[in-house]
Amino acid sequence: MNGAEVDSLLATARAWLRQDPDAETRDELAGIITRAASGDEEATADLSDRFRTRLAFGTAGLRGALGAGSNRMNRVLVSQAAAGFAAFLHARSGGSTPTVVIGYDGRRNSRRFALDSAELFAGAGLRAILLPRLLPTPVLAFAVRHFGADAGVMVTASHNPPDDNGYKVYLGGADEGSQIVSPADAEIAERIRRVAEAGDLAALPRSSAYETAGEEVVDAYAAATAAVAPAPESARSLTWVYTAMHGVGWETMARILDAAGYPRPKTVGEQLNPDPRFPTVAFPNPEEPGAMDLAFAAGRRTRADLILANDPDADRLAVAIPDESVDGGWRRLSGNEIGLLLGARAARAAAGTPGATLACSLVSSPGLGVIAAHHGLGFHETLTGFKWISRSPGIVYGYEEALGYLVNPETVRDKDGISAAIAVLGLAAEAREQGRTLADMLAELGEVYGHFASGQVSIRVDDLSIIGRVMLSLRTLPPTHIGATAVASAEDLLDAAPGQPSGDVLRYRLADGSRVIVRPSGTEPKLKVYLDAQAPSATEADGIIAALEAGVRALLDERA
């Protein structure tokens, strides 16, 4: 970096510093500026990383590491986002006063970002309603519809690492409380850009005239969610374990369990209350190795029937069942296994309903389509993300393999790990009533609908260019085989036909009927590969997946 470039970078950083209302990030940035100005190359590189780009606002809203700079999550960036979103809402309101609901979880700065947003929304002339305290993301998604709001904002980074935070946006009205999709994301991003280019946060009007919602909104969510699967008599004898993964799920979950009539679980005390440090897990994501070890230990101690785990904002659900064939005696079910169990439950209930459909993301198990057809229901396959799944016409149930489930679309138009937990408890109680277990229900799925197996290969990278390089290589020279199995067809969804899901996704159908899908993660620095197979028996399906995993790893090693 030459002298002129360093001078320009320093000027940009100093302009940011002048408008930053946060003493912590001001001090952080001032120190870096001082070191960079004295010729410290490491500080200059740090400054470049913080200001070389702007944290992009897209259909997932904002998400990134906390810290000073335009490429970090901080009060300046969040305030610009709130002001830009307010301008977007005014522009589409037709002259009426838009209403926006704001929620937040237990991560660092979540409440501060929510308060900044509420003050800026109110200052911009919107009706702003702040949820009463830190709450799960599904409560915010519910509140958008409950209040008939035009929009909602949830401050959360879900299951991201501890130093991240995020800003998730929902739209009401015709969007029915779903997350934003294109072109709304680009329109909001343009409004935010205009605010950022003005460069003076102090000039943005703020007001303390926002409302704080009462407990009735939480009560209403609890009542609606308890109705998903009221406890039968057999539920009383269930023994189960619950962990909130240091997140915000437990208080709301406990209220709903009581309302629905389920016994309280044995809880993982070390992970029960919100803690933004997430001290017992490397990543606060139930899918990550080791994240559920404390829950497994509790399950062994209590000889539990099942384990349920929410991620930190409680929009995802993990389920584990006893299994003596695996080390430790507990097996976490895959997202597809849970998704198909809940899908069959929903299909049985909706059979005969005109226009009723099941939906899942294109990387989820093709088994859901088979279930839908078996029960005479429609089926939609969408791009990844509940912003797409929740918009499927006639949806009565939707899921994606990353532990996301939508079991009550008339209440919440987003994945909801709490209502999904109630539905799973309902299945467990039903199985107990019949002298069976969730494992028996899974086996029955294979007998009725066919044996499906899934796997995943994830490559986490420090350099995002590696992902682009692999995707380009696969597009330029598509593989003819994955492992020993020939590729029958290759599809690039960037070139999808009109009306079909399109995106940065490569899909391969293999000669044995199995399927491999490759895509960059939308929220993490990962390349993700999804594997699916169907076979006459579970053992054969698992064998196909094992061979595919080896073949995919060899392919990625070759192309990286």
Which residues are known to be catalytic? Answer: 158
Q: In what order do the strands lie in the sheet with 485-492?
A: 451-460, 526-535, 515-520, 506-510, 485-492, 481-482
Residue 175 phi/psi, 5-degree rounding, is -80, -10
Q: Which two tokens stand for residue 145?
A: 């519809």
H-state helical runs in 102-234:
110-123, 137-146, 184-198, 216-226
> What region does 173 belong to: left with phi over 0, alpha with psi -120 to 50, or beta?
left
Closest alpha carbon to 549 in 527, 532, 534, 526: 532
3-state SS, 106-129, equals CCCCHHHHHHHHHHHHHHCCCEEE
**Sequence-separated (6 or more) residues with CB below 8 Å from residue 266:** 239, 240, 241, 242, 298, 301, 302, 304
CA distance 103 to 84: 18
**Phi/psi zone of residue 554: left (φ > 0), alpha (ψ -120 to 50 degrees), beta?**
alpha
Query: DSSP code of 324?
Result: T
Residue found under tokens 């190795």: 289
Q: Give the whole-angstrom CA distance, residue 513 versus residue 228.
A: 36
Query: Whole-angstrom Cα distance, residue 120 to residue 123?
Result: 5
Q: What's the rounded Cα separation, in Å, for the pair 54 and 72?
A: 8
Closest CA to 318 of 417, 392, 453, 388: 417
Q: What sign does the CA torsion over 252, 255, 260, 262 have? A: positive
Establish whether the linkage from the previous residue to 183 is cis, with ω within 30° of 0: yes
